Each structure stands twice: as structure tokens, then as C-alpha cells.
Amino acid sequence: MSTLDPRVETVAGPVRVFIACSLDGFIAGRDNDLSWLPAPQGGVDYGYHELLGQTSAILLGRGTYDVAAGCTDWPYAEMPVFVATRRALEPVAPSVRPISGTPAELLSIVREHIEGGIYLDGGNLIRSFLDEGLIDELTVTIVDVILGAGVPLFAGVTRRHRLKLTSSTEYPNGLVQLRYTPCRSG
């Protein structure tokens, strides 16, 4: 397995997406169903712990936060978690903080509190950050399932985005992980 590409790191720390999606482009099924996601097998976590080791904070969309908050165990331990939301939020952990604003404002708020990499998660948040040119790296793990409906990963971006494939990894269980850097125009 390759390591995260250090060339994408910016002075303020990279913004990275690390997400799984179905072959037909959904990150969750109907009613936010995640039962189709494979569990880590044989100690293989597809690079997730490596990502967390290079992450200083997590920026979640509200829907993703609500799903994570419903887990039996809070999955982010003591990592600072910023939740992009306009609604009242009762944090499930002391490390959770609600924030609001445009993608650039959200990023600025997070960077006021941390130095280093930011892990970005949540369909709407990913699309808006991509449209604003604020993502440094996208790691998308394709799961060998077709859901037919659910929460889309990229459907709804406001413009076309060119990406450069930096690595691909095929796993014995059928998953394929693709790592991209967005091509910057200009």
C-alpha cells in the first residue's frame, strides 16, 4: 500500500478526502444505510489509520456527523472534530465543535485552531469544497456493489473537475482505491 503523497501538502496542511463509494457513486444507501460497507479484514484498514496519523482535525458535514454520533463508540476519539451546520448541535464528545460559513470560512475557522492536515467528510461538504478548489487530495475506495439510490458522492457539483490519478490499489476482496489530486487551473 502506498503512503499518502506528501507533495500535496500545503503550508497550512492539506485538505484530504478519504471516502468509500459504491460502483454507482453513492456514499450511503437509502436512509443513510451503510451496511454495504465492508469491515476491515485481516488488519487491513485501507489506509484509514495512516490518514488519521497525518490529520490534525476532522471537518464533517452535519449528516455525516449525525451518522457518526449514532455509533455505539465515538469513532474519532479525542481528535478535534468541526461540524459544518446551521442547526443547533449537542456535541457527543468534548472534541466536537459546530461551525458555519462558506467553504473558505469553514476552512479558515478550522485552521485557526489547528496546524496540519484536515480530513474532510460528508457528501455536500466534499462537493462544495471541490467546487471552491479547496481539496488537495481525494482518496476514493470503490466498493464492488451497486446501490441504485442513496447519497451521491459527486452528483451536484457545479462544474467539471479534472483530476490527476496519483495511485491505485486493488485489494483481494474486490475493493479498488483510487487516489487523485485535483488539477488546478491557471
The structural domains of the chain, ordered by start, are: 6-182 (3.40.430.10)
Are residues 179 and 168 in contact, defined by beta-carbon separation less than 8 angstroms?
yes
* Angle, alpha carbons 158-164-166 (nearest 5°): 135
Q: Residue 185 — very low, low, confident or very high, per pLDDT cuts 50/70/90?
A: low
**Distance (Å, rounded) from C-alpha 4 to C-alpha 6?**
6
CA–CA dist 38, 138 (Å, integer): 20
Q: Over the stretch 56-96, which tens digit does the pLDDT of each residue have?
A: 999 999 999 998 888 878 888 889 999 999 999 989 899 99
Q: What percent of the chain has pLDDT over 90?
A: 72
Predicted confidence (pLDDT) per residue in 154-165, tens digit:
998 999 999 999
Residue 154: which of 184, 179, 131 has the closest Cα?
131
pTM for the predicted model, two decimal places: 0.88
Contact call for residues 27 and 67 (beta carbons, < 8 A): no
Compute the distance between CA of residue 82 and CA of residue 153 in angstroms, rounded to an integer. Answer: 20
